[in-house]
Amino acid sequence: MRLKLWPSTSAHEHLSEIEELYPSASFQAWIVLKGNEFVGFAEASIRPFANGCESRPVVFLEGVWVDEAIRKLGLGRMLLDPIESWGFQETERVVYFRKKLLP
């Protein structure tokens, strides 16, 4: 699947990169299976910075790919949901209440 998304990188280079990245806690990958077939994936990492971002570190979507035959079914969105959950944590919650007072 990586070859389909990044065809200019050789299979050997992809394998080397996978072996380097996958053990890292700052890298995550998600896949979509249809039966026994791999039909989509997404990769994200925590980078020290990214262009246009003011906060640091940042979650960076490295790539997302879904097989052309099953696109437009929401699988890309499904792949992005866990990345958003992985990259964003609730820091606090505030609940406000109101009660109308009678005159």
Contact, 57 vs 48, CB < 8 A? yes
Per-residue pLDDT of the chain (103 residues; tens, 9 = 90+): 999 999 999 999 999 999 999 899 999 999 999 999 999 999 999 999 888 888 889 888 999 999 999 999 999 999 999 998 877 666 678 888 888 888 7
Q: What is the pTM of this model?
A: 0.77
Residue boundaries of the structural domains of the chain:
2-87
End-to-end CA distance of the chain: 68
* CATH class assigned to 2-87: alpha beta
What gap in Å lies between CA 61 and CA 74, rounded to an integer? Answer: 17
